[in-house]
Amino acid sequence: MYFVDGLQYSNWTEKIFKEMNVAGLAAVHVTIAYHENFREVVTNISKWNNYFEIFSDLIIPGTCAADIDLARQSQRTAIFFGFQNPSPIEDDISLVEICYQLGVRFMQLSYNNQSLLATGCYESDDPGVTRMGKQVIKEMNRIGFVIDMSHSAERSTLEAIALSERPITISHANPVFWHSARRNKPDVVLKALAERDGMLGFSMYPHHLDNGSLCKLEDFCQMIARTVELIGVDHVGFGSDLCQDQPNSVVEWMRNGRWTKETDYGEGSADNAGFPPQPAWFSNSTGYPGIAKGLADVGFDNVDVAKICHGNWYQFFERSFGPEH
């Protein structure tokens, strides 16, 4: 069994890349921007170019589904870039294509706040996809650059699903029916996503889990079974939101960027401000084989386990990246 992870943002080191290889993680969508502007994101891509050079025996740049096969053949991991915020395209729609040329394949239309394109899930009101947002959706559709609405508010998310002519993703979130959190998604969103052939990546980030860090693997897998009952087995995968070995300054950057002089705690709180501990069964990517077993234990057959662990993402990558044929 091999795996595709629909979102990670770890403190990348050789150790982590080796764990990915050991886990059979053939592809990861990796965040390269939270609040960075264009020039700053280019510096982040430069950093990755350097990783690809230094760690060429462990990772490869991923730009199409076939790179997953290439990674598997050589027991490496293909890295697919994504933005959690549209800040890197600034107010310039032409930067969508430029970023695609630099290898970026996913972009959230908003992070937690209002962006130039859509509304984030921490705003009190959501006026929906903006004028520029509609233009950028069209451009992303043309190019084959995936729209991600993981952190967006409900109306914006539903509008993006409807406006986009190609399937979109919620790469890292869980259903509200299981654990009510601002970042988790109600049934109406999950159904709309699946009806348009989109993909949900289940998150293993404690704030998105029932019982948080103490969440049991069996409960997590039961939640997956219930979600499959709701939206079918073809539109779900994993998007772990793993932030391995990151210092707490990183979660502060995610939440506060440069937009506030006060402190925003996001999903945390003043007395629980840092990264929460990961559940015991997923402290890092090597937890994946155990999750595959957990899925079998709650009744999924081999075919469906494979779909959830990699097959659905593979097909989503195949139909999503690049111009439509």
- Which residues, other chains included, contact 297 with Cβ-Cβ below 8 Å and sequence gap of 6+? 218, 221
Instruction: Name residues contacting its own copies, limited to 81-100 (CB under 8 A).
Output: 92, 94-95, 97-98
Report the greatest alpha carbon distance in the chain: 52
Q: How far is the CB of 42 from its own copies (least distance, A)?
A: 6
Phi, psi of 100 (to 5 degrees): -60, -45
Q: Does 101 bind its own copies (CB under 8 A)?
A: yes
- Which residues, other chains included, contact 53 with Cβ-Cβ below 8 Å and sequence gap of 6+? none
| Spatial distance between the Cα atoms of 255 and 257, rounded to a whole number of angstroms | 6
Give the residue carrying structure tokens 């939270």: 34
Q: Does 103 bind its own copies (CB under 8 A)?
A: yes
Q: How far is the CB of 80 from its own copies (least distance, A)?
A: 15
Q: Does 38 bind its own copies (CB under 8 A)?
A: yes
Give the three-class secondary structure for 146.
Answer: strand
Q: Does 42 bind its own copies (CB under 8 A)?
A: yes
Give the residue carrying structure tokens 């510096």: 43
| Spatial distance between the Cα atoms of 205 and 248, rounded to a whole number of angstroms | 15
Q: Does 250 bind its own copies (CB under 8 A)?
A: no
- Residues that bind its own copies (rule: CB under 8 A) add up to a total of 16
- Tell me whether residue 22 or residue 102 sits nearer to its own copies (CB atom): 102
Residue in 39, 131, 258, 325 binding its own copies, rule: CB under 8 A: 39
Give the three-class secondary structure for 13.
Answer: coil
Q: How far is the CB of 173 from its own copies (least distance, A)?
A: 31
List 83's β-bridge partners, or say none. 33, 107
Residue in 1, 64, 102, 116 binding its own copies, rule: CB under 8 A: 102
Q: Does 49 bind its own copies (CB under 8 A)?
A: yes
- Which residues, other chains included, contact 26 with Cβ-Cβ below 8 Å and sequence gap of 6+? 2, 3, 4, 68, 71, 72, 77, 78, 310
- Tell me whether residue 38 or residue 177 sits nearer to its own copies (CB atom): 38
Q: How far is the CB of 51 from its own copies (least distance, A)?
A: 12
- Tell me whether residue 46 or residue 260 sits nearer to its own copies (CB atom): 46
List 52's β-bridge partners, or say none. none
Q: Does 325 bind its own copies (CB under 8 A)?
A: no
- The span of 12-20, 44-52, 128-136, 229-237 binding its own copies (CB under 8 A) equals 44-52
Binding site for its own copies (CB under 8 A): 38-39, 42-43, 45-46, 49-50, 92, 94-95, 97-98, 101-103
